[in-house]
């Protein structure tokens, strides 16, 4: 098998992937927006769990 052919293909894919990551600024904005949305959704869950634990501690 000619490994140099696969090496060239891998380098081409790596170049295009790196080029996409470097020049796609929206990727970071979308990730940040998604994290913020998850945090907003998890705050009520965390508050409810903290209240449940506090109630159990008060009972004991």
Q: Quick check: is 12 in a domain?
A: no
Domain with 51 in it: 25-60
| Residue found by looking up tokens 């696969």 in the block | 6
Q: Quick check: is 33 in a domain?
A: yes
Q: Quick check: is 51 in a domain?
A: yes
Better-predicted residue by pLDDT, 28 or 17: 17
Q: Quick check: is 57 in a domain?
A: yes
Please spell the DSSP secondary structure of 20-60, one letter per residue: HHHH-THHHHHHHHHHHHHHHHHHHHHHHHHHHHHHHHHH-
Q: Quick check: is 3 in a domain?
A: no
When pLDDT is cut at 50, 70 and 90, the band that residue 45 belongs to is confident
Residue 13 parent element (H or E): helix 3-23
Q: Whole-prediction pTM value? A: 0.40
Q: Quick check: is 40 in a domain?
A: yes
Q: Quick check: is 29 in a domain?
A: yes
Q: Quick check: is 54 in a domain?
A: yes
pLDDT at 15 over 70: yes
Better-predicted residue by pLDDT, 11 or 58: 11
Structural domains in the chain (count):
1
Give Cα separations from 33 to 9, 39, 43 (angstroms): 34, 10, 16
The mean pLDDT value for 13-38 works out to 80
When pLDDT is cut at 50, 70 and 90, the band that residue 60 belongs to is low
């Amino acid at each position: 098998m000619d490994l140099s052919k696969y090496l060239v293909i891998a380098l081409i894919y790596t170049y295009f992937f790196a080029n996409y990551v470097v020049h796609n600024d929206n990727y970071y904005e979308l990730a940040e927006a998604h994290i913020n949305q998850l945090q907003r959704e998890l705050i009520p869950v965390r508050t409810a769990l903290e209240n449940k634990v506090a109630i159990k501690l008060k009972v004991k």
